[in-house]
Amino acid sequence: MKRLTVAIDGPAGAGKSSVAKLVANRLHYLYIDTGAMYRAFTWAMLKNHIDLADTEAVQSLTDTIQIRLEPAAEYCRVYVGDTEVTEDIRTADVSSHVSPVAALAVVRTKLVKLQRDMAASGGVILDGRDIGTVVLPDADLKIFLTASVEARARRRYLELQAKGSTDTLEAIAASIAARDDMDSHRAVSPLKQAEDAILVDNSQLDLQETADLICRIIEEKQ
């Protein structure tokens, strides 16, 4: 049975990463955590004391860095060269630097190439906002996972309430709607459904039900 390359795109709050990890575990696929890859590159920048403005040093790191992912029970294990950095890339220091690093064109070009190389043999799942349109336009299966603003806001509201947040449901919904508009109209790789993607609306589904549905779609495609 052929193992597929699966691209899952969709707006913020649709549960893409959680579903992708769950489906990958069920089907014994590799979940390619693209965010972790950008964090790994950022970790290497900090480890080597490379400044964002030092284009020569950034280019040199881009030319030589080796980032590898291995499947694990919950998250993939992340390596830079032979060094495991799975925990190190989740520090506050890395988190505070990852956005400007990820915005560098040379870094994005490098990591997109690595993601395509990892996906070449199949049996992988990637999620994001431009996987099916930019990163893997020839993916075997593309899914656009979405939910209504109201459903996504309600989920986020319950998550934040559990953490003691006082944010209102209305404020969260407004923030999500604004994020949707920004992501859909950004100049580089805007959020949009690929023409050949299957639309999955999980407004009325929980995480397990969404994973069940996507697993069925993948198995039918296989």
Asked whether residue 71 is marked as a ligand-binding residue, the answer is no
Asked whether residue 81 is marked as a ligand-binding residue, the answer is no
Asked whether residue 14 is marked as a ligand-binding residue, the answer is yes
Asked whether residue 190 is marked as a ligand-binding residue, the answer is no
Asked whether residue 132 is marked as a ligand-binding residue, the answer is no
Asked whether residue 15 is marked as a ligand-binding residue, the answer is yes
Beta-sheet pairing, 83-84 with 77-80: antiparallel
Asked whether residue 128 is marked as a ligand-binding residue, the answer is no
The two tokens of residue 63 are 């030319």
Residues annotated in a binding site for ATP: 10-18
Residues annotated in a binding site: 10-18
